[in-house]
Amino acid sequence: MVFKHQQFYDAPPEIEIEFPPSATLEAAVSDALASSGGIDASDVTVTANGSTITLAGAVLRQEEVTRAEEVVRGVNGVTEVRNGLVVTGPDQIDRGI
């Protein structure tokens, strides 16, 4: 029997990790948002690209947008926050938006 090394179209095989670092960071940020006070994060999505976190979705008050960014910046491993949250509650109506 002859042993041959595996070939993957001339590229080395990629090792899959059960929890890649971006998924771990997304989970940490989501947990921080869910457990922090002053934010209803039920309509907020968190996406990690490296150490950059992107927030998307809707909150009821402008204060929640600011608070969400503060919480995310406090999570270990986050270096940049892209805050795409929009206000859909009474604050939006009061401002005539």
| Burial (Cβ within 10 Å: 0-12, 13-18, ≥19) of residue 79 | exposed
Q: Find all residues with CB under 8 Å of 28, minimum gap 6, and list them.
A: 75, 76, 77
- pLDDT at residue 14 is higher than 70: no
Compute the average pLDDT of residues 34-48: 92
Task: Label residue 89 by pLDDT band (50, 70, 90).
Answer: confident
The model's pTM: 0.72
Dist. CA 70–CA 83, nearest whole Å:
11
Mean pLDDT, to the nearest integer, of 75-94?
Answer: 84
Q: Which two tokens stand for residue 37?
A: 């006070």
Sorted by where each starts, the structural domains of the chain and their CATH numbers stand as 21-95 (3.30.1340.30)
Q: Check: CB of residue 55 under 8 Å from CB of residue 72.
A: yes
Average pLDDT along the chain: 84
pLDDT tens for 45-81 read 999 998 999 999 999 999 999 999 999 999 999 999 9
SS3 19: coil
